[in-house]
Amino acid sequence: MEISFVRPLTPKGTRTDEGIYHFIYFLSIRNPVQKENISPISGHHPPSSFYWDAFKTFFKIGAFTLGGGYAMLPILQQEVVEKKRWIPQDQFIDLIAIAQSCPGVLAANISIFVGYKIRKLPGALCTCLGAVLPSFLIILCIALFLHQFMDIPWVAAMFRGIRPAVVALIAVPTFQLAKEARITLTTCWIPLATALLIWLLGVNPVYVILAAGVGGFLYGKYIRPTE
């Protein structure tokens, strides 16, 4: 705790000067002015500053992420977890599973969760608007002039070059999330089985996530305590 005190400018050596000095000093100890300690993860942000900052953050994510979906994960992780520290890393991993299981766009679902966690419904509306507004405006402009873009060779070539980069953008956060999920030799069969069920058998990812959640609950409740 820091106490800022300025001695009054009165003639030195007088009783009035010393009395005022000690009286003000006494009041400064009894009623110190403390600065508010704001913790990003706990969500104690000034409302006005958070709303604008959250809108800008998710607007940037929605405007500069090509491909959508999982291609947004590296920027989402960097902005929401590492830079802004709105949610911790382990909660971000759980959020991806929840957002993927719910109807709607992945980025919009994550933005709603983050905004609601910090500022309830107004925060959720603000972050969701920032996430979906860029794509809405861009698609609206493309729809107005679509016939002029369809036959341009350099536009098609540009998107052919973007596709491999999107694959890399998806692969990097996948490995990072695998490290945070603490996948070991005894649990590596879970993501492998999940990938095979979705890829080869065409099982709906929602059913796979629900089955994994039930299996994890049963393991933690009945099997792990006996180990």
pLDDT in tens, 11-30: 444 444 555 545 444 444 44
Residues 130 and 23 in one domain: no
Predicted confidence at residue 40, as pLDDT, reads 46
Residues 112 and 223 in one domain: no
pLDDT, tens digit, 9 for 90 and up, residues 24-63: 444 444 444 343 333 444 444 555 678 888 899 899 888 8
- Number of domains observed in the structure of the chain: 3
Predicted confidence at residue 36, as pLDDT, reads 38
**18 contacts: CB under 8 Å, gap ≥ 6:** none
Domain extent, residue 198, equals: 184-227
Residues 92 and 113 in one domain: yes
Q: Quick check: is 105 in a domain? A: yes
Residues 73 and 146 in one domain: yes
More confident residue, 105 or 8: 105
Residues 31 and 113 in one domain: no
Residues 31 and 51 in one domain: no
Mean pLDDT of the 96-117 span:
83
CB atoms under 10 Å from CB of 130, counted, come to 24
Predicted confidence at residue 150, as pLDDT, reads 66
Residues 136 and 84 in one domain: yes
Q: Which helix (H) or strand (E) holds 158?
A: helix 153-180
More confident residue, 58 or 8: 58
**pTM (2 decimals)?**
0.53
Residues 67 and 104 in one domain: yes
Residues 222 and 146 in one domain: no
Predicted confidence at residue 96, as pLDDT, reads 82
Q: Quick check: is 41 in a domain? A: no
Which stretch, 12-26, 65-79, 116-130, has highest mean pLDDT?
Answer: 116-130
DSSP string, 75-136: HHIIIIIIIS-SS-HHHHHHHHHHHHHSSS-HHHHHHHHHHHHHHHHHHHHHHHHHHHHHHH
- Rounded to an integer, what distance in angstroms lies between the CA atom of residue 192 and that of residue 173? 17
Q: Quick check: is 40 in a domain? A: no
Mean pLDDT of the 173-190 span:
73
- Rounded to an integer, what distance in angstroms lies between the CA atom of residue 53 and that of residue 179? 30
Residues 177 and 209 in one domain: no
Percent of the chain with pLDDT over 90: 4
pLDDT, tens digit, 9 for 90 and up, residues 193-206: 888 888 888 888 88
pLDDT band at 180, cuts 50/70/90?
low
Residues 30 and 96 in one domain: no
